[in-house]
Amino acid sequence: MLAILLGRLSSPALTFAQNGTGAPPVMTRDADGQVTVRAVRVDTPPRIDGVLDDPLYQTLAPITGFVQQDPNEGQPATEPTFVWIMFDAHNIYIGARCRDSHPSRIVANDMRRDGRNVSQNDNLSIIFDTFHDRRNGYEFLINAIGGAWDTQVTDERDSNRDWNTVWIPRSRRDEQGWTVEMAIPFRSLRYRGSGPQVWGINIRRNVRWKNELSYLSPVPRLYGARGILRLSQAATLIGLEAPSALLNLEVKPYAVANLKSDRAAVPPVNNHVAKNAGFDAKYAVTPSLTADFTLRTDFAQVEDDDQQVNLTRFNLLFPEKRDFFLEGQGTFAFGGVTTTPPTGGTTAPPVNTPVLFFSRRIGLSGSREVPIDAGARLTGKAGRYSIGLLDIETDDNAAVREPRTNFAVVRLKRDILRRSYVGAIATRRAPAAVGPAVAGNEVYGLDANISPLTNLNLVGYFARTRTPTLRGDDRSYRARFDYDADLVGLQVERLAVGRHFNPEIGFMRRTDFTENLVQLRLSRRPHAFAGIRKLNFEGAFDYLENGRGRLENRQARAGVRTDMHNGDAWGVSYSDDYEFLPVPLVLGGLRVPTGTYSAPTLRANYTLGTQRKASGDMSVARGGFYGGTRTDVGYRGRAELTMRLSIEPGISVTRASTPWGDLTATLLTARTTFSFTPRMLTAALVQFNSTTHLFTTNVRYRWEYRPGSELFVVYSDGRDTLSAGAPLLLNRGLTLKLTRLFRL
DSSP 151-195: EEEETTTEEETT-----EEEEEEETTEEEEEEEEEGGGS--S-SE
Residue 69 backbone class (left: φ over 0; alpha: ψ -120 to 50; beta: rest): alpha
- How is the chain split among helix, strand and coil, in percent rounded to 5? 5, 55, 40
Angle in degrees, CA 734, 737, 738, rounded to 5: 155
* Contact (CB, 8 A) for 425 and 445: yes
* Range name among 82-86, 176-180, 370-374 with the lowest pLDDT average: 370-374
**pLDDT at residue 245, as a whole number:** 60
Q: Is 9 helix (H, G, I), strand (E, B) or coil?
A: helix
pLDDT tens for 568-597 read 999 999 999 999 999 998 887 788 999 999
Residue 299 has pLDDT above 90, yes or no: no
What is the domain class of 2-242 according to CATH? Answer: mainly beta
* Contact (CB, 8 A) for 261 and 62: no
Kindly tell me the burial class for residue 207, based on how many C-beta atoms sit within 10 Å of its own C-beta (0-12, 13-18, 19 or more): buried
**pLDDT at residue 435, as a whole number:** 66
**pLDDT at residue 6, as a whole number:** 38
DSSP 639: E
Angle in degrees, CA 184, 186, 187, rounded to 5: 110
Average pLDDT, rounded, for the chain = 88
**pLDDT at residue 400, as a whole number:** 67
* Range name among 227-236, 285-294, 322-331 with the lowest pLDDT average: 322-331
Residue 369 has pLDDT above 90, yes or no: no
**pLDDT at residue 15, as a whole number:** 41
**pLDDT at residue 226, as a whole number:** 86
Kindly tell me the burial class for residue 28, based on how many C-beta atoms sit within 10 Å of its own C-beta (0-12, 13-18, 19 or more): middle
Q: Which of 304-308, 337-341, 348-352, 466-470 has the highest mean pLDDT?
A: 466-470
pLDDT tens for 173-184 read 999 999 999 999
Mean pLDDT of the region 235-244: 92
Determine the Cα–Cα distance for residues 620 and 236; give it in Å rounded to an integer. Answer: 47
Mean pLDDT of the region 616-640: 94
* Range name among 85-94, 171-180, 365-374 with the lowest pLDDT average: 365-374
Q: What percent of the chain has pLDDT over 90?
A: 59
Q: Which residues pair with 142 in a beta bridge?
A: 124, 148
Determine the Cα–Cα distance for residues 110 and 677; give it in Å rounded to an integer. Answer: 10
pLDDT tens for 423-437 read 999 999 998 887 666
Determine the Cα–Cα distance for residues 121 and 113; give it in Å rounded to an integer. Answer: 14
Task: Order the strands of the 91-99 sheet from edge to edge.
Answer: 40-41, 81-87, 91-99, 177-185, 168-174
Residue 640 has pLDDT above 80, yes or no: yes
Mean pLDDT of the region 445-449: 96
pLDDT tens for 712-724 read 999 999 999 887 6
pLDDT tens for 512-560 read 999 999 999 999 988 878 889 999 999 999 999 999 999 999 999 999 9
